[in-house]
Amino acid sequence: MLTIKNLSVSAQNKKILEDITYTFKKNKIYAVMGPNASGKSSLAFSIMGHPVYKISSKSEIIFKRRKINGLEPYKRAERGLFLSFQSPLPLSGVTVLQLLQVALSKKLDVLAMRKKAKQVAKELHMPEDLLSRSLNDGTSGGEKKKLEILQAVLLDRDLMIFDEIDTGVDVDALKTIATFLKKNRKGKTYILITHYNRILRYLKPDEVLVLGDGKLVKTGKHTLADKIEKAGYEMLNSKRKTIFRQAQDPERS
């Protein structure tokens, strides 16, 4: 589905990712873990094509057998990528329904889209009026994340990256979100970027990737996530302690 080869990325002349190679397969769930500033979000932004992240010339991002290095972000989305933001931006005066109407103008008629959005909102235990309010403007952390999920489902992309979908979300909302994602995973590839394995108890990852200082330092099965929870990231590499010094920080800045 998605292969990254020798991915090295810099932003504002600072090296952020270094030589990452990995293949994400269809129908699987991946967890990407690692301490703060280890490059998790940068990996997501680079895959989606954020203009600030400059990809080195020998890097390759191959999605559905096509190299997408130079493809504009909206085209990557149309080809089947979705990125759920860690901190979704407030869009004053723009509702999620208006956004989806524009994004889906060629695929789904307005009435069908609205009907589906209402149904998904109900399943996610969201008040319906959230759909016709300014997106992410004055909404709680949990509601913002649910709105991201709602867009993911309606846009119906094949590979979805969820950047800290579990941060700022209470226990009940987390359960709702995880259960919903599990139910709708058929035919989809999920990449869950997370600090904790709370969400991974509901959504068992097939593979766990650990990033450290911009490098892919370890991969393993879901048991790796458990180990990290118990022993922290330091247990992975005692020789390079400095890069994991923030590993036990319970909340992100």
Our CB check for another protein shows the closer of 78 and 226 to be 78
Q: How far is CA 253 from CA 63, 98, 165, 171, in A?
A: 32, 32, 15, 20
- Residue number with CB closer to another protein (72 or 170): 72
- Nearer CB in complex with another protein: 44/200: 44
Nearest distance from residue 74's CB to another protein, in Å? 4
Q: How many residues does this entry show for the chain?
A: 253
H-type alpha helices, 131-202? 141-155, 171-183, 198-202
* Pairwise CA distance, residues 117 & 132, whole Å: 11
Cβ at position 85, least distance to another protein in Å: 6
For another protein, the closer of residues 100 and 236 by Cβ is 100
What residues contact residue 120 under an 8 Å CB cut-off, 6+ apart? 149, 150, 153, 154
Q: If residue 14 lies in a helix (H) or strand (E), which one and from where to where?
A: strand 14-24
CB of 89 to another protein, least distance (A): 5
Nearer to another protein, 12 or 223 (CB): 12
Min CB(147)–another protein separation in Å: 11
Q: Do β-strands 159-163 and 215-220 pair in parallel, antiparallel, or remain unpaired? A: unpaired
Around Cβ 206, how many Cβ atoms within 10 Å? 15
Q: Which helix (H) or strand (E) holds 140?
A: none
Phi, psi dihedrals of residue 140, rounded to the nearest 5° = -70, 165
Nearest to another protein of 36, 98 (CB atom): 98
Minimum CB distance to another protein smaller for 85 or for 244: 85
Least spacing, CB of residue 166 vs another protein, in Å: 19
Footprint of another protein (CB under 8 A): 48-52, 72-74, 77-78, 81-83, 85, 88-89, 91-94, 98-100, 102-103, 134, 151, 155
| Distance between CA atoms of residues 95 and 93, nearest Å | 7
Structure tokens at 191: 């990449």
Instruction: Report the nearest approach of another protein to the CB of residue 92 (Å).
Output: 6
**Least Cβ distance, residue 219 to another protein (angstroms):** 26
